[in-house]
Amino acid sequence: MVNNTYPRSRPQAERGLPASRRRFLAVLGTATAGLPLLGACGAAAGGPAAASDRRGSTDGAPPRVRVSQEASPGREVKRTSFPITAVGLTWTGSPHGVRLRLIDRSGKPGDWQDVTAGCPCGKDAEALRTKSTTPPNRALVPAHGSYGYQLDVDSGVKVVEAIAIDAGHLGRKQRPAPSGPPAKSAPATTPGTSGSAAVAFPPPGLVLRADWGADEAKRLTADGRESSPTRFTRVQAITVHHTATPVDDPDPAATVRAIYEQHAVSNDWGDIGYNFLIDRQGAIYEGRYSGTDGIPAHNADDEVVTAFHTFGFNPGNIGIALLGDFGKQKPSSRMCDSLVRLTASLAARHKLDPLAGITYLSPTSGKSTDGPALGGHQDWTSTECPGSAAYLGLPDVRERAAQLTR
């Protein structure tokens, strides 16, 4: 339902802890110089040190990704036998009550850095089932090839889980290409438009899941079923996020794989939480898996797959994440151009007015609320996402997207 004016209040979405689902991982390597490796996924706190090692058997297979995981890691130094792309943390208590320092290969610690929780995301059905309305805090901290880390926490803060991720490297045949046709069939132009390339969906050069190195096994349970089965609904809104990771990212595809690992396995969501992601060079990455019918993020009926980016408002809400932290720094011009192109193509395809307000109706809870057709995460819940600098730029994104769809 279109509503050309909407209140600027930011409702607090109902949130809760995810259900427990863990995979047992293969043991890799031994502890280094008397310091423990992180526990394997599924290992009890203080249990044997281990790590997962997912290897592609041929060029073109998913990159080698290694993960070490420990429940309740405490304050001891944790070491790995591999270089760490990022450390994922889940904790309860103050969202600002955690500090971390990285350990280099020789065992030398770096400076302590404050860790701030990211925005509240998750699965709607999960929030509706749980009695708790307080979500855990989560963050993904870049580790720059370190070989360990150490945590320090405030009183009343408990780190529930820590994972060290080596996101691996893409082979030559897997590197994201600047252009190329989508793997799924799609019309050359958006139905109901002038046929301009500016509003064609999917946009040219979309980096598909296979191209950024998604290991599809992470979406599955041990018996081969989807841990979070795909569900599709009609599109109601488009929401912009940021990942709160470094803006000057030397390997954005690796960051996407690290986010995928944290979301799909550690957070127990079964997949990456966004429908699309955009890096500082303007490359657009396919996010949440949507099956083999239709086009990226959609099914053959042109409904969008439900992702896990905006607690309480996920179904019919397309989540687009900007790779970086845009609390103070503005997104690059290339990133903004791609955001305009992507949102314009989606708005044209689904007959959304980027400048309009809507009344969003949740098909899971039956509740409705007013919000923007094209907005930021903070329009839907209490959060700073997508960062003040990015949020202040959204009116220009709306105007430019609207011009392209006219």
Specify the range with the lowest mean pLDDT, choosing from 142-156, 185-199, 359-373. 185-199
CA-closest candidate to residue 324, choices 400, 248, 266: 248
Q: Which two tokens stand for residue 326?
A: 């845009």
Do 52-166 and 177-405 share a fold? no
Question: In whole angstroms, what is the distance from residue 74 CA to residue 159 CA?
Answer: 7
Give the domain 177-405 fold.
Lysozyme-like (3.40.80)
Q: How far, in Å, CA of 82 to CA of 280, rounded?
A: 27
**Quick one: pLDDT at residue 353?**
97
| pLDDT (average), residues 48-54 | 36
Integer Cα distance of 37 and 400 in angstroms: 50
User: What share of the chain has pLDDT > 70, as a percent?
Assistant: 76
CA distances (Å), origin 142, targets 101, 167, 277, 320? 11, 11, 17, 21
The letter for the amino acid at 377 is: H
What does the pLDDT average to over 94-111? 95
Strand partners, 220: 226
Contact present, 18 and 271 (Cβ < 8 Å): no
Q: Does 56 have pLDDT greater than 60?
A: no
State whether CATH 2.60.120 applies to domain 52-166: yes
Nearest Cα residue to 269 out of 303, 324, 230: 230
What would the 3-class secondary structure string for 20-70 be?
A: CCCCCCCCCCCCECCECCCECCCCCCCCCECCEEECCCCCCCCCCEEEEEE
What are the domain boundaries of the chain? Answer: 52-166, 177-405
